[in-house]
Each structure stands twice: as structure tokens, then as C-alpha cells.
Amino acid sequence: MASELLHDRPVPVPEQKELWGSDAIAAMLRAMEVPYLALNPGASYRGLHDSLVNYLGNERPQMLLCLHEESAVAIAHGYAKATGRMMGVVLHSNVGLMHGSMAIFNAWCDRVPMLILGATGPWDAARRRPWIDWIHTASDQGALVRDYTKWDNQPASVPAAYEALLRASQMAQTAPRGPTYINLDAALQEAKIGPLPALPDVARFAVPDPVFPNEASVKEAARLLSAAKNPVILVGRVSRSEQHWKARVALAEKLQAKVLTDIKTPAAFPTDHPLHAAPPSTFPDGTLLREADVVLSLDWIDTAGTLKAAWGSTPIGAKVIRVSPDAHLHRGWSADYQGLPPAEVYMMCEPDVVVPFLTEAVRARPAAVLPKAQIPYEKDEAVSIRALARAFNELTEGMNVALAKLPLGWNGAYRHFRHPLDYLGADGGGGVGAGPGLTVGAALALKGSDRMVVGICGDGDFLMGNTALWTATHYKLPCLIIVANNRSFYNDEMHQERVAKERGRPVENKWIGQRIDEPDIDLAMMARAQGAIGIGPVKELAQLKPAIAEAIQKVKAGEVCVVDVRVVPGYDTNMSGAPASASRR
């Protein structure tokens, strides 16, 4: 796929007599089949940069220039979400790493594989240029991201770098997946090395086979599920494979179990299936779960919190089967491990491995008659997120769409997901600004497929991350970004409203320090400034459908397009209904 981007081709380089440390590192990246490296440049890795361009010819891996390190990481994140595959990122010394760190945290919380390369030094102080090499050298640079990467290393030689890259790649792609970080000393990159040290056989360092559940656990889980009166399946982190999708449907149907999905994770179950019991949401409504006597949690992000939402402080009234390898990477710094759920059976495996075993082992339960899920369609009176969703749904009927981002005010009932690629999930770590980069990364992954990549972003999200657009226009990665623009960091207006009410203070002041107004920002112009099509602002209902229709046409013709839709502030989700502590982001 890398050669398909056909962009930024270097002039031919004469036969090289001399090789450098970074040439060997670049050769290793090619041997590992890293397809792309999203990056923002910096002198700390000028050696590697030269090797990628002049030794490898800027292909396999190909560079993707980004205007901000946060976009570089978000693009790799979006690519991994859509493909399940790892790509690389290169971040300049400490400063580039600091810029990229929030996005690394998002990728970590989202459990996506990513190979992050960085640089420092020269570590040998005697070889540093005055001033700049000193401020861009940090001892233990990996410490900046160690708490939200699976592994980091600073290799001291080419053979050590080979091994570090192999280990970083293997670990990043082993479940539970996550980013890894390799810090390349500038002196190592810029050292003359003579002939290329033999590259290891990459095939011998492949990702391990999946971990299978033991027979006794499967048997016990099947016994509980088969005897249940009201089993519920919580489907969380699962793969993008259609085969796995069908296997999940088969299990739910054999058990006639109700299924819940999470809007924080990608599409995991057909939301219009009669067994899909409620629209995917950020904070699931506990009432449905409270009726369950057996809960099967398939790597659901917050099983303990979800059970608590159902049973509160009373004992959890259901038996719990927990299927998740996630605790393998639980650490102390960030509490993204969530609460500790109780479990009668705990299989530390990936759900997609376990599901077929369970389907085989459970007894079929009789079908219950369930009402079919309906999307609530009242008449739209203003340009709202719901009106936007309706117009978008009508215009994309029968089309394959991959939604790479949804705004906070999106109600999971607005649109059905019927394929694993229909929705790619949220940002993982709740770090605002990821939306544009995630969309561009998904566009990179799905370029040339029949799926239109669409990110529906909040204006705050768009404004923080919008320069990812330039990478999309430069490399011709068609995608559509629709900004649900309420001209505010509105989620936090709601928090101020809640606090004001609690304290008996005027709610009228909730907009101060939140609203993005005076001057009004022309988002369409920000898109045009980067070579994308900019449409809007769309202020009237009558303009909404034609504007989105025009945008879809442009994207189908290969363009990058942004539509600024001025939505009325207000959420139609349980983000506002949840207790303040639950919805604090």
C-alpha cells in the first residue's frame, strides 16, 4: 500500500560506499514491513531522516509529514483502529515527544499497537553541539511516556537497535496491544558502521499465538450461561474481523442473550439486531443490566463501573464471566485499568478467541420475543446534532461509511452499525483534539476501498487537531469531517451549570471561559487554507442536507472536505443525565 501514495519521491541517490547507523535502523524498519512513519522533523533524528529518504528512497516505510506531533500519533492511532495493524511514528527528541504525549496516552487507553521512534543526544556529551543538543537531550527520556507505553528502550549499538525494534514491534502487537517507544541516540544514528550488520530473520520474531482459554473455565462459563434466565453480554474491545463479528452474533443468538455495546469502543455487534438491547452509550444505563442473572463481559472497558451503575452499593446480583487479557498491562500511574470487577469465571484471553468455544459449549436457550430497536425520529426544529445525524443517514443510505469519530453529544441511537468498520470508536483516553487525526489515519488505512471515512467532531476537538487535515490533502487521503459546531467547549458548560446549581449560583454564567465566540472562527476557511474543501457555516435546517450532499460528492471525487455545521448547544445523551462524578472528563 505504501507505494500507492506516490508522493514526495527523492531524486536517485548514487551508489553508497559508506553506511551509517541509521541506515541499518531504516533497513530493519523495512524488514519489519512498517508501512508508514508519521512524523514531524527534528535534528535529533536527522540521521534516520536521511536514511529513510536517501537510503530507502522514502518507501516501505514512507514518511507522512504532519504539522504537529499530536496529529502524527493520532494518525497512527486511526490507522491501527481501522486495520488492527501497527504503523510507526517518529518524534523529535524530548520536545516532539512532549507534543505527542497526550495522543500516546489516547492510543494506550485504546489498546492500539504503535511503534514510536524518538531520538536524543548525542548521549556522549563531548559530541554535543553547543546549546541545542543540550536542551534536546534528556536522561531517561522514555520516562516521559513510560507510564503509558508497553515498553521503551534506548539501544546503544546497531545490533541492540535491531533487537529493540523487533521486541517493540512484537510487544506492541501482542494483546493487550499498545504503543512502544524506542529512543535512538543521535550518535548511534550518525556513526559510520562499515557493511550492514546482518538483519535478523523477522519471521522468527512474530507475534505469539493467541492465548486459549482452559477447558474447565469454558465449561463453567457455559454452565452458568446455559442455566441463566436472563444472560447479558457486554461487548467491549474486539477485532474488526467480519468472521469474529458473525461469531459474536451466533453466540448471542444461541443463548438468546441481550447484548450491550459501548460507544467508546468500535462497532462490535449489529445495533439493529433484536438482541441488541440499548443504543451504545458512554455511560450505560444500569436498569437493563440489573435484570441480568449472568453477565458475560467481553473485554468491556469498565466492567466494575457498569455493574455498579446497575446495582449501586447493593451486592452485584449477577454471576460474572470476565473475558479480558487487559490486566496484563495494568500499571500504577494511570487508573485506566478501571474498577476491579468480581468474577465467577475469569478467562485472561481475547474475547474473539473465547467466543467460538463458548458457542460450542453452551446449550441453546429458547428465543424470547424482543421489540426491534427503533431510532427515535421526532421532527427536527433546529440544526442540532440529531438533525445532522438524520441528514447524514439519509444521504449515506446504502453506502459504506467508516465513522472515525463522533462528537460527545452524539446519541448512540442516531445511527445503526452493521459492520465492524461502520464505527471505529472514540479517542481512548478522552484527550480532546484527536478527532481530525483519527479521521485522517482511518482515511490512510481505507484509501482505495469502497468505504467513505467520516469524522464527526466537536468544534473544540476540530480546533485542537485540525492541522491533521494538511497531511490528508498533501497525501490525497479522501475523508469528510463534519464539525458539530456549538461554538463552545460545551461539555464543560454543563459541568459549570451543575456546579452552579449545586452551589446556588447563577447558571447564566456557565458560558464564561467556555464559549468560542467573538471573534467567530471560520472553520471552512481553516480547511481551505490547508487545501481541503470548506463548506459552511451551515446555519439553517434547509441548508444542512444540500451541504452534506455536496461534501459527500467531493469526498467521492477524492477530496478532503470539512463542513461547519452550527448546531444548537445541547446534548441528547446521558452525558448530561449522568451524575457529575460520572460525566467528568
Q: According to the binding rule CB under 6 A, does residue 406 interact with ligand TPP?
A: no
Task: Select the span of 11-19, 70-78, 104-112, 428-436 touching ligand TPP (CB under 6 A).
Answer: 428-436
Q: According to the binding rule CB under 6 A, does residue 162 interact with ligand TPP?
A: no
d(CA 10, CA 544): 44
Here's the x/- map for ligand TPP, 95-124, by CB under 6 A: it reads as: -------x----------------------
CB of 432 to ligand TPP, least distance (A): 4
d(CA 505, CA 500): 5
Task: Give every CB contact of residue 88 below 8 A, 6+ residues apart in sequence.
Answer: 29, 34, 36, 37, 38, 61, 76, 114, 115, 116, 117
Q: Strand locations in 397-532, DSSP E?
A: 400-405, 451-458, 479-485
Proportion of the chain in helix, strand, coil states, percent, rounded to 5: 40, 15, 45
- Total residues at interface with ligand TPP (CB under 6 A): 19
Closer residue to ligand TPP (CB): 26 or 479: 479
Q: According to the binding rule CB under 5 A, does residue 490 interact with Mg ion?
A: yes
Task: Give every CB contact of residue 144 below 8 A, 6+ residues apart in sequence.
Answer: 94, 97, 98, 101, 138
Residue nearest to ligand TPP (CB): 458
Q: Which of 459, 478, 510, 523 binds ligand TPP (CB under 6 A)?
A: 459
Closer residue to ligand TPP (CB): 107 or 187: 107
Closer residue to ligand TPP (CB): 297 or 384: 384
Q: According to the binding rule CB under 6 A, does residue 458 interact with ligand TPP?
A: yes
Return the C-alpha cell found at 404. Answer: 472515525
CA trace torsion 12, 18, 23, 27 (10° rounding)? 80
Return the C-alpha cell found at 530. Answer: 490547508
Q: What secondary structure does DSSP assign to 253-303, as a single string?
A: HHHT-EEEEBTTS---S-TTSTTB-S--BSS--HHHHHT-SEEEEES-TTH
* Phi, psi (degrees; rounded to nearest 5) at 88: -110, 165
CB of 307 to ligand TPP, least distance (A): 25
Return the C-alpha cell found at 198. Answer: 546482518
Q: According to the binding rule CB under 6 A, does residue 431 interact with ligand TPP?
A: yes
Closest CA relative to residue 437, chosen from 9, 64, 59, 33:
64
- Cβ–Cβ under 8 Å, residues 52 and 21: no
Return the C-alpha cell found at 210. Answer: 493467541
Q: According to the binding rule CB under 6 A, does residue 432 interact with ligand TPP?
A: yes
Q: Which of 486, 514, 573, 583 binds Mg ion (CB under 5 A)?
A: 486
CB of 180 to ligand TPP, least distance (A): 23
Task: Select the span of 144-152, 282-290, 300-308, 457-465 touching ligand TPP (CB under 6 A).
Answer: 457-465
Q: Which of 23, 285, 461, 564 binds ligand TPP (CB under 6 A)?
A: 461
Q: Which of 41, 430, 531, 570 binds ligand TPP (CB under 6 A)?
A: 430
Q: According to the binding rule CB under 6 A, does residue 74 interact with ligand TPP?
A: no
d(CA 35, CA 60): 5
Task: Select the span of 181-189, 271-279, 357-365, 425-433 touching ligand TPP (CB under 6 A).
Answer: 425-433
User: Which of ligand TPP, Mg ion, none lies near 492, with the C-beta cut-off 5 to 8 A by kind?
Assistant: ligand TPP
CB of 112 to ligand TPP, least distance (A): 18
CB of 206 to Mg ion, least distance (A): 44
Q: According to the binding rule CB under 6 A, does residue 189 interact with ligand TPP?
A: no
Q: Which of 61, 178, 407, 428 binds ligand TPP (CB under 6 A)?
A: 407
Q: What secondary structure does DSSP assign to 65-94, as a single string?
A: E-SSHHHHHHHHHHHHHHHS---EEEE-HH
CB of 388 to ligand TPP, least distance (A): 12
Does residue 51 sit in helix, strand or coil?
Answer: helix
User: Which of Mg ion, ligand TPP, none lies near 572, with the C-beta cut-off 5 to 8 A by kind?
Assistant: none
Task: Select the span of 84-92, 250-258, 322-330, 481-489 touching ligand TPP (CB under 6 A).
Answer: 481-489
Closer residue to ligand TPP (CB): 174 or 486: 486
Task: Name the residue with cell 550492514.
Answer: 196
Closer residue to Mg ion (CB): 54 or 576: 576
Helix or strand (DSSP H, E) at 37: strand 36-39
d(CA 347, CA 296): 11
Q: Which of 491, 530, 573, 583 binds ligand TPP (CB under 6 A)?
A: 491
Closer residue to ligand TPP (CB): 102 or 401: 102
d(CA 338, CA 297): 14
Q: According to the binding rule CB under 6 A, does residue 585 interact with ligand TPP?
A: yes
- Counts of helices then strands in the chain (DSSP H, E): 20, 16
Here's the x/- map for Mg ion, 423-462, by CB under 5 A: it reads as: -----------------------------------xxx--
Long-range contacts (CB closer than 8 Å, 24 or more residues apart) made by 126-130: 127/187
User: Which of Mg ion, ligand TPP, none lies near 461, with the C-beta cut-off 5 to 8 A by kind?
Assistant: ligand TPP
Q: According to the binding rule CB under 5 A, does residue 262 interact with Mg ion?
A: no
Task: Select the span of 2-10, 155-163, 423-431, 484-492 touching Mg ion (CB under 5 A).
Answer: 484-492
Closer residue to Mg ion (CB): 428 or 458: 458
d(CA 396, CA 399): 5
Closer residue to ligand TPP (CB): 69 or 133: 69
User: Which of Mg ion, ligand TPP, none lies near 534, with the C-beta cut-off 5 to 8 A by kind?
Assistant: none
Side-chain-facing half-sphere of 79: CA atoms under 13 Å: 28
CB of 19 to ligand TPP, least distance (A): 42
- Cβ–Cβ under 8 Å, residues 75 and 440: yes
Q: Which of 50, 492, 497, 572 binds ligand TPP (CB under 6 A)?
A: 492
User: Which of ligand TPP, Mg ion, none lies near 190, with the C-beta cut-off 5 to 8 A by kind?
Assistant: none
Side-chain-facing half-sphere of 114: CA atoms under 13 Å: 35
Binding site residues, ligand TPP, CB under 6 A: 102, 407-409, 430-433, 458-461, 486, 488-492, 585
Binding site residues, Mg ion, CB under 5 A: 458-460, 486, 488, 490
